[in-house]
Amino acid sequence: MGIGNPLLCDDGVGLRVAFELKDRVDQPEVTIMETGIAGLALLDLLVGYDRAIIIDAIQTIDGKAGHIYRLDTQAFDAARHTVSQHDIDFTTALEFGKKLGLSLPKQIIIFAIEASDVRTFIEECTPEVQKAIPICVELVLQELKKG
Amino acid sequence: MKKITIDPITRLEGHGKIEIFLNDAGEVENTYFQIPELRGFEKFCEGRLAEDMPQITQRICGVCPEAHHMAATKALDDVFHVDPPSAAKKLRELFYSSFYVTDHTTHFYILAGPDFVMGPEAPVAERNILGVIAKVGLELGGAVIKTRMQNHRIIQMLGGRAVHPVFGLPGGVSKGLNEDERKEVEQIAKDSVEFAKLSLKVFDDIVLKNKEYLDMVLSDAYTHHTYYMGLVDEKNRVNFYDGKVRVVDPDGKEFVKYSPKEYLDNVAEHVEPWTYVKIPYLKKVGWKGFVDGKDSGVFRATPLSRLNAADGMATPLAQAEYERFFSTLGGKPVHQTLATHWARLVELLYAAERLLELSKDPEITSPNIRTIPTAKPDEGVGIVEAPRGTLTHHYITDENGIIKKANLIVATVNNVAAISMSVNKAAKALIKPGKKITEGLLNRIEMAWRPYDPCFGCATHTLPGQAAMEVVIYNSKGEVVDRLHR
């Protein structure tokens, strides 16, 4: 699942990775989604799947544009009470869904690509982030092979 | 001068910033409400096909794509001088009512609810939806999820996908409903009406029956006497999808009622040196600064504003609740910002009832859903009520339908002056010399703007470890003397 805004420069990098994956993945049991949402709405989309790989943009303090981080939900858990609660954050949404007994993926991996510009309306990524796209595609393919 | 910074605002899409300046005595001197700048959207639209605007503009943010989609679609009707068939208008309104049910539900339970259910000064770790369901019960949490999913199903049914629909076209819509789908919509609508009634009961039990909360809602710290704006139908009842924009003065009397095309005669924009946002105000009253009252052109466009600006609701249960709302809060207009949460629930009930009405309309399964435009495109304005306030899209095209100019006045921007004033007033009432600035106190200041639910349409994410809410206190030399993390 690629998440982002395709009109907002590097914010859309997750969508571009998902788009590339459409031509590279032929397993019928794998669904490739492109979306622009977060929180509870994300929960709605994850219901019914066994595993999820999410590809998203991220901005970290002193982060280097184009760097790719592989995170699991534990990494978000660790800091849940120190990070911002936009709408409802992803971890809280997941915990909420679990409490309600929703059928959510047993494993969720997040590939987060460090973004440089997420404030300019333009339909392409900055060069550093652009370079990360094929690398991230390979990482997702390897992740899929793990089964 | 001492400076306190709250950045970013929690529980909002995108990052906002509140700066509170203290004087040497430790009292609040002034506050500034900052919205992050998204550069060049209007320029980005120029040179594109007008009919792409419903797809492009709905990507402004992840919160209310349907509102932009619908405002853009209506602007296109106007650009191409085409009147959609009656069934198409009803399908658009049905779609839009579903969207309202999802959006208002999310706001109340996820954003507003925790302050009241858990308490404004409850530990931040508990003041969220998990705390709410721990206290109110899992069953209600399940109902929230079910209502959202069911209504997203309607959006997907008509829009082709649950997010970023492909539905509105100049002169109509891309897809109608067959009888099986109609039946499904009708059932979802019935469930949504029950859910809205339940939500109003929750509000009643938790807020209205709690004297401390009711006193807080009615307190001066959260009150402003402003003009109110909202879309109304021909009988001056609240309408989200269509009608004229009505503005009432702080006494509740109609000040003006105008058609979308006349918006520039009625709304002007003021420029301040400290923000890139152009602040809208009522042109015929004039900009008098960040002050309320009849002489100030500051207006509000929120769920509360819509109730104030109308004479009633178009559905029976919502109308009864509308009357109870005003009789409980001391008559029209209601100026208490925190009452916006209740107003939102009255609207939730209206949206669900309207959805049900439309699902039973004999015309709703009509295949006549599109009038093909034949006139030369030139210029058009589309106005809808977004959940967070009046939303205006204005396009000028060349004769081939290529966008030459696009102007958008989004819901949150309408409210920038009022939000600044609300935060300033709450900060002045709550921050006192010598009083410790706690997280709970800052949350009470946040509560002054949460009813507006400002939406910055900026969706980047932060890594663990980064402080989300930080308060920095500077002394008069600009040195940091205290720092507070959430």
| DSSP E strands, B249-288 | 254-258, 267-270, 279-282
Give the CATH number for residue B171. 1.10.645.10
- Residue among A11, A76, A100 minimizing CB distance to B459: A11
Q: Is residue B258 part of a domain?
A: no
In angstroms, the CA B318 to CA B122 distance is 32
**Within a domain: B68:** no
- Output the pLDDT for position B285: 98
Q: Two tokens at B65?
A: 């794509």
Residue B426 and residue B347 in one domain: no
* B445, B428 Cβ separation under 8 angstroms: no
Interchain CB distance below 8 Å, A7 and B56: yes
pLDDT in tens, chain B (486 residues): 455 444 434 333 445 667 788 888 888 887 777 766 556 777 889 999 999 999 988 877 666 889 999 999 999 999 999 999 999 999 999 999 999 999 999 889 888 888 888 888 888 778 888 888 888 888 999 999 899 999 999 999 999 876 788 999 999 999 999 999 999 999 999 999 999 999 999 999 999 999 999 999 999 999 999 999 999 999 999 999 999 999 999 999 999 999 999 999 999 999 888 777 788 999 999 999 999 999 999 999 999 999 999 999 999 999 999 999 999 999 999 999 999 999 999 999 999 999 999 999 999 999 999 999 999 999 999 999 999 999 999 999 999 999 999 988 888 788 989 988 998 898 888 888 888 878 788 888 888 888 887 765 422 333 333 333 344 444 555 555 555 443
Q: Establish if B477 belongs to a structural domain.
A: yes
Residue in chain B nearest A120 by alpha carbon: B39
Q: Cβ distance B231 to B242 under 8 Å?
A: yes
CATH superfamily ID and name for A2-145: HybD-like (3.40.50.1450)
Shortest CA distance from A101: residue in chain B? B142
Determine the Cα–Cα distance for residues B341 and B266; give it in Å rounded to an integer: 28
- Going by their DSSP bridges, the two strands B299-300 and B227-232 should be labelled as parallel
Q: How far is B6 from chain A (nearest CA, A)?
A: 12
List per-residue pLDDT tens for chain A, 147 residues long: 998 888 888 988 999 999 999 999 988 999 999 887 767 777 888 889 999 998 988 877 777 899 998 887 766 544 333 233 345 677 788 888 888 899 999 998 889 898 888 778 888 999 999 999 999 999 999 999 986
Q: Is residue B119 part of a domain?
A: yes
SS3 A83: coil
Question: What does the alpha-carbon distance between residue A19 and residue A7 come to, in Å, rounded to a whole number?
Answer: 15
CB contact burial B229-263 (16+ within 10 A = b; e otherwise): bbbbeeebbbbbbbbbbbbbbbebeebbbbebeeb
Distance CA(B27)–CA(B39), nearest Å, equals 35
Evaluate whether A56 touches A108 at the Cβ level (below 8 Å).
no
Residue position matching structure tokens 């397993």: A27
> CA torsion angle for B203, B206, B208, B209 (degrees, to 10)?
140
Which residue of B463, B483, B485 to mutate against A (max A Cβ within 10 Å)? B463
Say whether both B121 and B215 belong to one domain.
yes
Q: Give the residue from chain A lying closest to B15, CA to CA.
A: A86
Same structural domain, B31 and B91 = no
Residue B9 DSSP label: P
B446 and B344 in one domain? no
Q: Which residues contact B162 (CB under 8 A, 6 or more apart)?
A: A41, A44, A45, B152, B153, B155, B156
CB of A112 within 8 Å of a chain B CB? The answer is yes
C-alpha pair distances (Å), B437 with each of B19, B226, B426, B442: 14, 30, 13, 7
E strands, B333-458, where? 379-386, 389-397, 403-409
Tokens of B389: 């306030």
What pLDDT, in 10s, does the model give residues B143-187?
Answer: 998 999 999 999 999 998 767 889 999 999 999 999 999 999 999
- pTM of this structure: 0.89
Q: Based on the domain organization, do B216 and B106 belong to the same domain? A: yes
Q: Provide the 10 A C-beta neighbour count for residue A33.
A: 16
Task: Kindly report the nearest CA distance between residue A115 and chain B, in angstroms.
Answer: 9
Give the E-state strand segments of A7-106 in sequence order: 34-35, 51-58, 68-72
Domain end (from B321, B350, B366): B366
Least CB-CB distance to A7: which of B44, B145, B162?
Answer: B44
ipTM over 0.90: no
| Domain-located, residue B380 | no
Does some domain include residue B312?
no
CB-based contact A40 B133, cutoff 8 Å: no
Domain that holds residue B16: 2-36+421-485
- What CA–CA distance (Å, rounded) separates A10 from A125? 5
Query: What's the number of domains chain B is made of?
Result: 2
Give the pLDDT confidence of B455-474 residue by residue, as tens digits: 654 223 333 333 333 444 44
Judge whether A121 and B38 are in contact, CB under 8 Å: yes
Compute the C-alpha angle B404/B405/B406, nearest 5°.
135
Q: What is the pLDDT of residues B363-402, one digit of tens each?
A: 999 999 999 999 999 999 999 999 999 999 999 999 999 9
Q: Does A103 touch chain B (CB under 8 A)?
A: no
Helices B316-328 + B340-359 axis angle, to 10: 170
Domains in chain A: boundaries? 2-145
B59: nearest CB among A5, A69, A102: A5
pLDDT at A56: 87
Same domain, B475 and B357: no
Rounded Cα distance, B352 and B151, in Å: 10
Q: Do A119 and B152 touch (CB under 8 A)?
A: no
- A64 at the B interface (CB within 8 A)? no
Q: What values do phi and psi take at B301, rounded to 5?
A: -130, 90
Cα angle A89, A90, A92; round to 5: 70
What are phi and psi for residue B257, nearest 5 degrees?
A: -135, 120
Interface check for A82 against chain B (CB to CB < 8 A): the answer is: yes
Is residue B449 assigned to a domain?
A: yes
Cβ burial, residue A44 (10 Å; 0-12/13-18/19+)? buried
- Give the Cα separation of B444 and B440 in Å (integer): 6
Q: Are residues B169 and B96 in the same domain?
A: yes
